[in-house]
Amino acid sequence: MKQGAKKIEPKKPVQEPARELVANRETLKRIFIMRESDSSRATLVKYMEQILFGLHEFLMHHVGITEERSLVELSRRFMDSAINPEPEKRLAEVIAELIDEIAPYAVNVSSPYFVGHMTSAIPFFMVHLSTFVAALNQNVVKIETSKVVSMVEKQVLAKIHRMIYKRSQKFYNRHIQSAYTSLGGFVEGGTQANLTALWVARNRLLAPKSGFAGVEQSGMAQAYNAYGISRCIVLVSQLGHYSLRKSGGVLGIGSDNVISVPTDADNRIDMACLKKIIACLEKDEPAARIMAIVGIAGTTETGTVDPLNELADLCHEKAIHFHVDAAWGGPALFSEKYADLLSGIERADSVTIDGHKQFYMPMSCGMVYFKEPKAMDAIAYHAAYVNRPGSVDLGIRSLAGSRAANSLILHGALKIMGKRGYALLIDHGIETAAAFAELISERPDFQLMTRPELNILTYRYCPAQLQKRLSTATPAERMRANQFLNRANTLLQRHQREAGKSFVSRTTLRRPESEGGPAVVLRSVIMNPMTHPGILNEILDEQESLCKTRLKSAFAVDLSSS
């Protein structure tokens, strides 16, 4: 074990009479029936303690990210594919094994030094609320397996809808518990939210009409035929999430028809380019139909927000479905200081928000919202034994069938945190990212590549001398130097990750050839409230030291060599 990492001894469970490890009716009964005696209750509590504190202590003492161990070696431990005929272990042993053998080699995403991805520490109460969801085990596909929980879900959906769309009190009174309308839905994550939004957009565009039963029923070939359409197109900036292309594939429009629009110098969709693309389509391919335009509120790679109002104007003028992918940025609406960054989101026909991102919920939870309460009728399904017309069954308008009551977690979290609690998290992320950008700018050997708008930024290591020479280099020299830098920064990210003390991620930004072509950059996402500028400075120190020692030759770029 690495220095500083304390091995956590699993707490000894309360002594129970030793029982044989066998599967029979007696043992089955014991695991399905709540323990009756005081001592057996105490045992169950101890097990929970082990998870809550055994694991927590491990994470606390183990400030690093993960134990250094190769993936090949780890995979060798999991080669046995036979299921034991008889029980192998007791719960206490399984928990101890998970803490000892699995947790150290998993990734400590709670560490304030883990600033590379959109996954981070979650508030402690989330574990309790998750346990409650598992214990109650409701299935919100239908009222008959969830009853009041479906109503809680509708209430939570209305609360977030209201945060986005700010409709009237009367509007929410009418729709909050209506069996005939849906303000949105809980889904698996941002991917499924985007898919659901585009599914609705597709079915509304290729709706039933006289002589045609609609695309959902009759399929794409007949739909294109009925409407005289050559293809359907989705337009999104080149920083769009790849789930949109997946949706293009699943929905049958083809992932190639999810078209990337270039971005401007601030990483926002280039409106002039977008308008030009639309004009060209109208002129050269009048049978092509734009199914949706997507604005991004917080791109995955740079955290930037598209000009939502301008996009809304354009979509309104052309009668095109306007979807906003706010999987990441949505909760910025909680912040009094920064909600304006998302101005225009209230004009979207549909909005994606991820629960497991900036709502700090445990994996996995996403949501999709619709401005119009009837929009989701376009994807409604009924079955004889559930989801009957006119019932409140949430499964009627949902891609998923059986589904966990994750809304209960958000229901609790909103009460515990309040708007202000979430706003504090958002403000901290945005302001710490701005401070990080300053720290990077102050170091001559680093280059800030994208300035943070929300709480994501990108940068790279590029020795000061090289930066200076690049400013007067020829385009060819710039291209060559950039290739070196790309390789060297790739190595830098890998070395730091493998050392296991801290973590930033890496991505490749598209850039014109005049600037040296695609750039490999280090990407940092600041969402852990325990991450502060001191920690970020340490991360830069570690990177700088790696570059000046182990990676010295990788960064020795000679511009003149051919």
Ligand X SMILES: *Cc1c(COP(=O)(O)O)cnc(C)c1O
Taking the complex as a whole, the smallest distance from the CB of residue 562 to ligand X amounts, in Å, to 41
**Applying CB under 6 A, which part among 155-163, 322-330, 433-441, 501-509 lies near ligand X?**
322-330
Question: In this complex, which beta carbon is closest to ligand X, that of residue 50 or of residue 299?
Answer: 299
452 binds ligand X (CB under 6 A): no
Taking the complex as a whole, the smallest distance from the CB of residue 299 to ligand X amounts, in Å, to 6
Q: Which residue is nearest to ligand X (CB)?
A: 190
- Type of residue numbered 122: I
348 binds ligand X (CB under 6 A): no
3-state helix, strand, coil in the chain (%, to 5): 45, 10, 40
What the block records as the tokens of 407 is 């809304």
Residues 279, 254 contacting (CB under 8 angstroms): no
**Applying CB under 6 A, which part among 39-47, 158-166, 185-193, 552-560 lies near ligand X?**
185-193
Taking the complex as a whole, the smallest distance from the CB of residue 302 to ligand X amounts, in Å, to 11
Buried b (16+ CB within 10 A) or exposed e, 298-318: bbbbbbbbbbbebbbebbeee
What is the DSSP secondary structure assignment for residue 112, as one 8-state letter?
Answer: T
Site string for ligand X, 357-376 (x = CB under 6 A): ---------x----------
Binding residue for ligand X, selected from 300, 304, 432, 496, defined by CB under 6 A: 300
Taking the complex as a whole, the smallest distance from the CB of residue 160 to ligand X amounts, in Å, to 16
Residues 379, 200 contacting (CB under 8 angstroms): yes
Residues 405, 153 contacting (CB under 8 angstroms): yes
325 binds ligand X (CB under 6 A): yes
What the block records as the tokens of 515 is 């600037």
Question: By CB under 6 A, how many residues form the interface with ligand X?
Answer: 14
Taking the complex as a whole, the smallest distance from the CB of residue 510 to ligand X amounts, in Å, to 17
Question: In this complex, which beta carbon is closest to ligand X, that of residue 300 or of residue 447?
Answer: 300
Binding residue for ligand X, selected from 110, 120, 138, 191, defined by CB under 6 A: 191
Q: Using CB under 6 A, which residues numbered 457 to 476 contact ligand X? A: none
C-alpha R_g of the chain? 26
Q: Using CB under 6 A, which residues numbered 38 to 57 contact ligand X? A: none
189 binds ligand X (CB under 6 A): yes
Binding residue for ligand X, selected from 66, 196, 203, 243, defined by CB under 6 A: 243
Contacts of 445 (CB under 8 A, 6+ apart): 461, 462, 463, 464, 544, 547
Euclidean distance between CA atoms 80 and 508, whole angstroms:
38
Which stretch of DSSP H or E encloses residue 537? helix 533-548
Q: How far is CA 282 from CA 275, 276, 511, in A?
A: 11, 10, 28
Taking the complex as a whole, the smallest distance from the CB of residue 235 to ligand X amounts, in Å, to 16
346 binds ligand X (CB under 6 A): no
Euclidean distance between CA atoms 421 and 233, whole angstroms:
40
Euclidean distance between CA atoms 93 and 54, whole angstroms:
13
Nearest to 350 by CA among 408, 387, 277, 297: 297
Q: Is the peptide bond before 364 cis (omega within 30 degrees of 0)?
A: yes
Question: In this complex, which beta carbon is closest to ligand X, that of residue 111 or of residue 194?
Answer: 194
Question: In this complex, which beta carbon is closest to ligand X, that of residue 99 or of residue 198?
Answer: 198
306 binds ligand X (CB under 6 A): no
- Largest Cα–Cα separation, the chain: 81
- Type of residue numbered 436: F
Q: Using CB under 6 A, which residues numbered 105 to 134 contact ligand X? A: 118
328 binds ligand X (CB under 6 A): yes
Taking the complex as a whole, the smallest distance from the CB of residue 259 to ligand X amounts, in Å, to 17
CB-based burial of residue 172 (10 Å sphere; 0-12 exposed, 13-18 middle, 19+ buried)?
middle
Question: In this complex, which beta carbon is closest to ligand X, that of residue 177 or of residue 364?
Answer: 364
Taking the complex as a whole, the smallest distance from the CB of residue 192 to ligand X amounts, in Å, to 7
Question: In this complex, which beta carbon is closest to ligand X, that of residue 156 or of residue 551?
Answer: 156
Euclidean distance between CA atoms 478 and 473, whole angstroms:
6
Taking the complex as a whole, the smallest distance from the CB of residue 190 to ligand X amounts, in Å, to 2
Taking the complex as a whole, the smallest distance from the CB of residue 492 to ligand X amounts, in Å, to 24
Nearest to 276 by CA among 262, 294, 257: 262
Taking the complex as a whole, the smallest distance from the CB of residue 352 to ligand X amounts, in Å, to 6
Taking the complex as a whole, the smallest distance from the CB of residue 335 to ligand X amounts, in Å, to 18
Euclidean distance between CA atoms 467 and 516, whole angstroms:
12
Question: In this complex, which beta carbon is closest to ligand X, that of residue 184 or of residue 189?
Answer: 189
Question: In this complex, which beta carbon is closest to ligand X, that of residue 117 or of residue 495?
Answer: 117
Q: Strand pairing of 184-187 and 456-461? A: unpaired
What is the DSSP secondary structure assignment for residue 7, as one 8-state letter?
Answer: P
453 binds ligand X (CB under 6 A): no
**Applying CB under 6 A, which part among 177-185, 188-196, 281-289, 421-429 lies near ligand X?**
188-196
267 binds ligand X (CB under 6 A): no
Give the chain's count of helices (H) and strands (E): 18, 11
**Applying CB under 6 A, which part among 61-69, 184-192, 431-439, 479-487 lies near ligand X?**
184-192
296 binds ligand X (CB under 6 A): yes
241 binds ligand X (CB under 6 A): yes
Question: In this complex, which beta carbon is closest to ligand X, that of residue 64 or of residue 189?
Answer: 189
Euclidean distance between CA atoms 446 and 440, whole angstroms:
6
What is the DSSP secondary structure assignment for residue 37, as one 8-state letter?
Answer: S
Euclidean distance between CA atoms 61 and 228, whole angstroms:
64
**Applying CB under 6 A, which part among 190-198, 256-264, 424-432, 479-487 lies near ligand X?**
190-198
Contacts of 385 (CB under 8 A, 6+ apart): none
| 233 three-state secondary structure | strand
Binding residue for ligand X, selected from 354, 393, 453, 542, defined by CB under 6 A: 354
Question: In this complex, which beta carbon is closest to ligand X, that of residue 180 or of residue 242?
Answer: 242
**Using CB under 6 A as the criterion, which residues of the chain lie in contact with ligand X when the complex forms?**
118, 189-191, 194, 241, 243, 296, 300, 325, 327-328, 354, 366
